[in-house]
Amino acid sequence: MAISQRQVQKMQQTLSPQQIQMIKLLELPAMMLEQRVKQEIEENIVLEEDEKNEEQEQVISVDEYLRGDDTPSYKSHVNNFSKDDKQRPVNITEGRSLQEFLAEQLGYRNLSEREQQIAEFLIGSIDEDGYLRRDLESLSDDIAFTLGIESSTAELEQILAVIHQLEPAGIGARNLQECLLLQMSQRRMDTPSRRMAHKIISSHFDEFVKKHYEKLMSRLGVGEDEFREAIEEIKHLSPKPGNLYSEGGMDTTPYIIPDFRLDYNDGQFDLSLNSYNIPEVKINHRYIDMIREMVSADGTVAESNKEAIQFVKSKIDSAKWFISAIKQRHDTLMRTMQEILSFQKEYFRDGDKSKLRPMILKDIADRTGLDVSTISRVVNSKYVQTHFGIILLKSLFSEAMQTESGETVSSYEIKNILQNCIDEEDKRHPLTDETLMNILNDKGYCIARRTVAKYREMLGIPVARLRKQI
């Protein structure tokens, strides 16, 4: 094939660096935006935090100082905090971690130096739930590579058996069945219900997990009352033994900072963007003056200063782009939230989810004139603080469902009906998805069984067989 050269004219849309920066800032929640702004201040020498000293220094005369009894109370009150300030507990010490607690218990065991090293390595491989997820062969290879100790899986089994005797009960288990059996082994088998519970876990664990209760009672030859007592014993066990130890003070609860604040007083909404803790930035004018000093009166620049001027100019341009992107982010967020508020005004009055109107991203995109992808970035991981709680913006969007009468309702309404039906069902005979579909159809909601299954999974509710109780 001969090599040829030709001109081709085509249209191609590309994003500028400023647009890319804007998109990345738009999808950041308030907490991550604060970190991003601080990072930009550290990286760009031209940017600095705009510190506005709102509190003026109070000058007190000698005569006023001597009149101690006439001093206004607010001047001596040390607890003057604004409504935005929040008292947070200061942890003096974090305490011991789970691994440190287990290592301390090992010290009371009669182990050789080699066994102690291996045991500490195994303890370090236990996750926060208290399980040893990795297989012993892989751990044996890691021990040989890290500690230089050749160990067999049989030796690791012996040392792991010592770890299984430590507190909390069930620690170091490799699966749920072993975890429950370890906890049962540390209890006295002095009642028929405990002995029955141990037999169920050790010999009929699969049937127990799948809740085949009738089959289990038939195999064990017991009645409902005896079987129920055994199940109650199992319910007292912990599936995550690592959670039983809390001295380390590990707080896994996510800390949420709302991006918007919505107040409702006397029938009026007051919407504001939460910029608390997000530093305001500005360009340090000393660098602009520096460039002016390097440029002579006739506009020429010395050869030795050209590189410095070019560097400072690039930093100033980058700072201007960043400040502009922050402002554009604020404007886009407020514009979008105003339309969401207008669309869901009835819901925001009292927080009643039954008043949520069906709303998709395209609805807000059409009202704001923005692209659907932009609306998606705005609502993703963003929260609004209302008088009835902190709400995830994404949770306000729902599909529209049609009733027999032609009325359009939100999928939240159907989910609420599903939740209520399952809460009130007979747990001995839980409602199947097909039965739930018939109930909804009788109420006038045209819905298929697969849609019922989808909504049930979205609510975190298991299938009927796994909801069964005796």
Cβ-count burial of 130 within 10 angstroms (0-12 exposed, 13-18 middle, 19+ buried)? buried
Residue 264 β-bridge partners: 269
pLDDT score, position 56: 42
pLDDT score, position 209: 86
Give 313-340 pLDDT, tens digit per residue.
888 888 888 888 888 889 999 999 999 9
Task: Give the separation between CA 39 and CA 34, rounded to whole angstroms.
Answer: 9
pLDDT score, position 83: 43
Whether 348 and 271 have beta carbons less than 8 Å apart is answered as no
Q: Measured at the alpha carbon of residue 245, what is the angle toward residues 108 and 153, in degrees to the nearest 5?
A: 55
Give 393-410 pLDDT, tens digit per residue.
888 887 777 676 666 677
pLDDT score, position 54: 43
Residues 6+ apart with CB under 8 A from 179: 130, 131, 170, 173, 237, 239, 241
CA atoms within 13 A on the CB side of 111: 22
Nearest Cα to 404, choosing from 435, 447, 449?
447
pTM above 0.85, yes or no: no
Cβ-count burial of 96 within 10 angstroms (0-12 exposed, 13-18 middle, 19+ buried)? middle
Residues of the chain with CATH 1.10.10.60: 400-467
| Assigned fold of 400-467 | Arc Repressor Mutant, subunit A (1.10.10)
DSSP secondary structure letters along 217-267: HHHHT--HHHHHHHHHHHHTS-S-GGGG--TT----SPPP--SEEEEEETT
pLDDT score, position 15: 65
Per-position pLDDT tens, the chain of length 470: 678 888 888 776 666 677 777 788 888 888 788 888 888 888 888 888 877 544 444 444 444 434 444 444 444 444 444 444 444 443 444 557 888 889 989 888 888 999 999 999 999 999 888 999 999 999 999 999 888 999 899 999 999 999 999 998 899 999 999 999 999 988 888 888 999 999 999 999 988 888 888 888 888 888 888 888 888 898 888 888 888 776 654 444 457 788 899 998 888 899 998 876 777 888 888 888 887 877 777 667 777 778 888 888 888 888 888 888 888 889 999 999 999 999 999 889 888 877 888 888 898 999 999 889 889 988 888 899 998 888 888 888 877 776 766 666 777 778 888 888 988 888 888 888 888 888 888 888 888 888 888 888 888 888 887 787 77
3 state SS of 95: coil
pLDDT score, position 341: 92
Map 304-363 to HEC letters: HHHHHHHHHHHHHHHHHHHHHHHHHHHHHHHHHHHHHHHHCHHHHHHCCHHHCCCECHHH
Nearest Cα to 390, choosing from 382, 380, 398, 402?
382
**Cβ-count burial 297-327 (b if 16+ within 10 Å, e if not):** eeeeeeeebeeeeeebeebbebbeebbebbe
